[in-house]
Amino acid sequence: MNLGPITAALLTIALAQAPVSTAQLSMTLKTRATSQGELVVVTIAVTQAVDRIDVRVFDRDTRAFPVDGRTWRALVGIDLDATPDTYKITATTTRTGGVTFRATQDLVVTAREFPTRKLTVDESFVNPPAEVTDRIAREAKELEQIWTESSSERLWTGVFERPVPHDSNSAFGSRSVFNGQARSPHSGADFSSPAGTPIKSPNAGRIVLAKDLYFSGNTVIIDHGLGLFSTMAHLSSIDVKPGDVVRAGQVVGLVGATGRVTGAHLHWAVRLNGARIDPLSLLALLGTSQPPLVTHEELKK
């Protein structure tokens, strides 16, 4: 199913109540589109107070966070390489006494067309020499460990802001060809900022990595909590260290051209419970400008 240039989606369902209770959940999904690389904001309304709500989809679990006494929210990422298909998204809560309430809804993920970018870089970043093989493997393992160790608490507050004031000039998900050889797709957005531009944290969080990596150069990773991470790459200098707690808008470094690059720019990548999502989707849904909503019926046209 091709949804076309849809800008948002709204799905609402009611939980079939347990026989011993009149409690209900309703779940609203908000997104630019249900295609690969998109963020889905799940809002759950409850008629009775609960202590915890978990959301599961793509064989991954995420914990919802309370907005107020009757409203919870969870963030779900559709990975860059998610297979177009129909998936079940489920919200579950258990009240005192063991009564479980569950709501399930189909989430139809559609294919997204990604452009191809052809770049010429130093050959050592396409076919690395043998002496750096161990370093590359060690850094890859370190990153995979980081993605599993997000804070169990929400560390961000308010809206997300772009880390630099300049436009994005390289599309998320682009199929990358370096020196004529296909490599992994572009898992972030590049911003055309000149060298030395201050890079600001998109929101509050904790620094979990701040060092030079072989491919991404000087790199800063911010844990925003609940599985949400921002990665800032190719910096000329780093102004934070692991363990630092940063506020929204705090400078974490300067734009540079370190690692595998063709020139100075900022590479901003976002991960959400392992899913690689478009940073512009994060800004559209949780930034200062909010897209309009349409009904589920309009979404399926």
Domain boundaries, the chain: 9-112, 116-285
Q: What's residue 25's pLDDT?
A: 85
CATH architecture of 9-112: Sandwich (2.60)
Q: How many CA atoms lie within 13 A of 19 on its CB side?
A: 0
Q: What's residue 20's pLDDT?
A: 30
Name the more confident of 291 and 217.
217
Q: What's residue 31's pLDDT?
A: 92
For residue 150, pLDDT over 80 is answered with: yes
User: What average pLDDT does the segment 119-145 reach?
Assistant: 80
How many Å apart are CA 88 and CA 92, to the nearest integer? 13
Task: Kindly report the backbone phi and psi dihedral angles of residue 38, in degrees, each rounded to the nearest multiple of 5, phi listed first.
Answer: -100, 150
- Per-residue pLDDT tens for 31-81? 998 898 999 999 999 888 888 899 999 999 999 999 987 899 999 999 988
pTM above 0.95, yes or no: no
Q: In what side-by-side order are the strands of the sheet with 39-46? A: 9-14, 25-31, 39-46, 71-77, 65-68
Question: By C-alpha distance, which of 176, 267, 175, 192 is closest to 230?
Answer: 267
Is 140 strand, coil or helix?
Answer: helix
**Mean pLDDT, rounded, of the chain:** 82
Q: What's residue 102's pLDDT?
A: 86
For residue 248, pLDDT over 70 is answered with: yes
Is 279 strand, coil or helix?
Answer: helix
CATH superfamily of 116-285: Glucose Permease (Domain IIA) (2.70.70.10)
